[in-house]
Copies of this chain bind each other. A is one copy, B any other.
Amino acid sequence: MERSNERAAEEERGAGGRPGGPRPPTIRGVAERAGVSKSLVSLVLQDSPRVSAAKRQAVLDAIDELGYRPNAAARSLVARRTHTVGVLLNDMRNPWFVDVLDGLNSLLQAHGLRMLIADGRLDHRAGQDFARTFQELRVDGLVVVGTLPDTDGLAEVAGRLPTVIAGNHEPRLPHVDIVANDDERGARLATEHLIALGHRRIAHLTGHGLVGELRRRGFEAAVRAHGLDASAAVETGDGTEEGGYRAAVRLLTGARGNERPTAVFAFNDISCVGALSAAQELGLDVPTDLSLVGYDNTYLARIRHLWLNSVNNVSHEVGRRAARCLLDRMAHPDAPAAHRLVTPELEIRGSTAPPPTA
């Protein structure tokens, strides 16, 4: 009924008339229909206790009949709050981000905030001057997930609105909180697991950036603490499957002159899968001949065909804590910057075993 009237009106007005369709009902329309003033409708909308039951019902009926929806733009214009936080990430393809998003969402939603997601990689322009876009939209806060393309831009925005970095350790800026995984600790966890199984010749495949650095440091610390530095090896990878494969081939064929390691701890799952391929091509069984541990506990690791031990960096929790931080910062914009580390866990599956000689 409604619908067809609307359509009819639209066609009457002349086909294709773009921006001037039948305007959506406004608060005035509702007021008129209910026989009250717009102010009273406004009161009903934010259910104030100071309206009589009769009028309230009249207004609600009118809203229903017209299919009225308050205009968020008008609302946020006067309220000077959008109830929206901007989320900037740099590769939605990475499942890790989705977990963080999920964690973020669970808390933000409970506080009546919606997320506006921008992918810096997918959306080049937004990645470049995401600052501009988010400022124009007057988001109430900003969460940067992972590494970010443009630190200067961030510094500018951070001065103007509550900002939190999730899943990365840098950059450190005056009023910007950081919530990240304790990568060094996670690497130590993984390495110590291998040591506890009896491995003595353990290798690490590295990855890029500060995170790569931290994980390597964790590995080295664990190895050193057990007096195994001499027999440990560090091989350069790049976080890709291909890189992991090549690095593993170098390690396992003794191209580096080392004795062959009995266990490998890789920078991440994907490069760990590369190492797995290399091992199988060289006729080594995992875990009988070679133990593997990955990092990130992505769904790759969960595939029964791979079934990798992996460090679970509890990204959901990172997201939740980042949301917590953002809410706090929105309440106290001038609080000193906090740096929170979330402790990862080791997820044990089928890719490690005691070393063959033991």
A305: which B residues are within 8 A, CB to CB? 273, 276-277, 280, 306
**B74 close to A136 (CB less than 8 A):** no
**A136 close to B81 (CB less than 8 A):** no
Q: Kindly state whether residue A61 has any CB partner on chain B within 8 Å.
A: no
Q: Kindly state whether residue A295 has any CB partner on chain B within 8 Å.
A: no
Q: Give A105-139 interface residues, CB cut-off 8 Å to B.
A: 105, 109, 114-117, 119, 122-123, 125-126, 132-133, 135-138
| Closest Cβ–Cβ distance, residue A276 to chain B (whole Å) | 6
Q: Kindly state whether residue A226 has any CB partner on chain B within 8 Å.
A: no
A114: which B residues are within 8 A, CB to CB? 126, 133
A123: which B residues are within 8 A, CB to CB? 105, 109, 115
A137 nearest in chain B by CB position: B72
**What is the CA–CA distance of A25 and B1 in the complex, to the nearest angstrom?**
46
| Closest Cβ–Cβ distance, residue A42 to chain B (whole Å) | 15
A87 nearest in chain B by CB position: B117
Q: Kindly state whether residue A332 has any CB partner on chain B within 8 Å.
A: yes
**A7 close to B303 (CB less than 8 A):** no
- Identify the A interface with B (CB < 8 A): 3, 6-7, 10-11, 15-16, 18-19, 21, 23-24, 67, 69-74, 76-77, 80-82, 92-93, 95, 98, 101-102, 105, 109, 114-117, 119, 122-123, 125-126, 132-133, 135-138, 156, 159-160, 241, 245, 273-274, 276-277, 280, 299-300, 303-306, 330-334
The 6 closest A-B pairs by CB, nearest first: A73-B73, A69-B135, A277-B305, A72-B136, A73-B77, A117-B117
